[in-house]
Structure 1
Amino acid sequence: MIRTIKTFDHWLQVLTTFLHYVSNGLLFFIMLMISFDVIWRNIFNRPLTGAFEMTELGSALLVFFSLAITHQYKEHISIGFIVDKMSAKVKGLVLGIIEIGIFIILIVMSNQLFSNAARVMGRNTTTSDLSLPIYPFLYLSAFAAIVFAFVALSSGLKYWIKAVDKS
């Protein structure tokens, strides 16, 4: 069981690292897009076509792609004034339950994102300036949310293993 979790965790690490690199690329792209838009406005008195919507879509993907690695390395804000006072076993059980709760919420959220992407695809909804289809961005966000969900599941299982460990 523990070996299976370690293998699962290894592949999650690979996937979250890949998403992290993609999010870094998106951040660089957004930075360039905004810089060129400002330069174009000031020099040629004309905005860069589609800069706003590319920045908007890129920012949404940036957030979704960064959530899993942030959770994996426990870099998010947490308030543990009650949990920190518990014994190690109880703390492991409580944190495991919280992580499984996060997993369930993210699975429901991913399902809704996939459903919304299918509806948007059926309606052929596009952006206003560049006429880009919106559904691929929703599918990518849903995929990133699923990766985040599995990071939470893995974390919850690790907390429970620590809680029941006899050493």
Structure 2
Amino acid sequence: MKRFISRLEEAVNVVNLILHHIANIVLCFVMLLITFDVIGRFFFNQPITGSFELTELGSAILVFFTFAITHKYKEHIAIGFAVDKMPHRVRHIIEGCIEWFIFVVIAFMSWHILNEAIRTMGRNVTTSDLSLPVYPFIIIASIGSFVFALIALTSGLKHFVKAVEKT
């Protein structure tokens, strides 16, 4: 079981790292886009067409691609004052249950985001200025949230293994 968890965690971490690097590239792109848009607007009275749309779409990629890495390193807000005082096994069982709950909710959410992408693709929804199709960005959001769910799954499995190990 430990070997399975270890291999699953390695695979998910590779995908998570790739998404993190993509998010970094998108962040740099959005930063440069906004900078050049402001310069063009201020000095030349010529803003970049679609910069607002590209910023919105880039922000969506940033948010969904960084959920998983944030969860992996426990950089989100957590209140653990009650759980931290519990015995080792009880603490890991509670943490494991929380991680499994997160996994189920986020996996469910990922599935529905993917279904929304399919519906959006069928309706040919595009952005207003650049006429970019919206569904690829919704699919990207689904992928990012699914990787987040897998991070929660592996974390939950590790907590359950720690709960049954002899200390």
Q: TM-score range by the shorter chain?
A: over 0.9
Q: Which residue of 2 aligns with 1:69?
A: 69
Once the two structures are superposed, residues 99-141 of structure 1 have per-residue CA deviations (whole angstroms, 9 ceiling, x without a partner) of: 0000000011011101110111000000001000000000011
Write the letter of the residue equivalent to 1:10: E
Deviation of residue 73 (structure 1)?
A: 1.1
Structure 1 position 44, deviation (Å): 1.3
Residue 32 of structure 1 and its aligned partner are, at CA, apart by 0.4
Whole-Å separation in 1 of the counterparts to 2:49 and 2:23: 23
For 2:16, the equivalent position in structure 1 comes to: 16
Where has structure 1 moved over 6 Å in runs of 4 or more? none
Alignment match, 2:135: 135
Query: Residue 114 of structure 1 corresponds to which residue in structure 2?
Result: 114
Identity of aligned residues (%): 53
Aligned twin of 1:124: 124
Give the deviation of 1:4 after TM superposition: 1.0
Counterpart in the other structure of 1:54: 54
User: Aligned partners of 2:74, 2:17: CA distance in 1, in Å?
Assistant: 14
CA RMSD of aligned residues (A): 0.7
Task: Report how far residue 77 of structure 1 moved.
Answer: 1.3
The Cα of 1:46 is off from its aligned counterpart by 1.9
Question: Alpha-carbon deviation of 1:53?
Answer: 0.3
**TM-score (normalised: structure 1):** 0.98
Q: Distance in 2 between matches of 1:87 and 1:27?
A: 42
TM-score normalised to structure 2 length: 0.98
Amino acid at match of 2:29: F
Equivalents in 2 of 1:165, 1:22: separation in Å?
A: 37
The amino acid across from 2:114 in the alignment is: F
The AA in structure 2 aligned to 1:126 is T
Equivalent residues, number: 167
**Within 1, Cα distance between the matches of 2:126 and 2:70?**
31
Aligned-partner Cα distance in 1 for 2:38–2:130: 19
Determine the structure 2 residue equivalent to 1:78: 78
CA distance in 2, matches of 1:156, 1:7: 15
Matched residues in 2 for 1:106 and 1:45: separation? 44
User: How far 1:76 sits from its partner (Å)?
Assistant: 1.2
SS at match of 1:158: helix
Deviation readout 1:55-114 (Å, 9 max, x if unpaired): 000001101000111111111111112111211100000000000000000011011101
Pairing 1:1-12 to 2, within 5 Å after superposition: 1-12=1-12
- 5+ residue gaps, structure 1: none
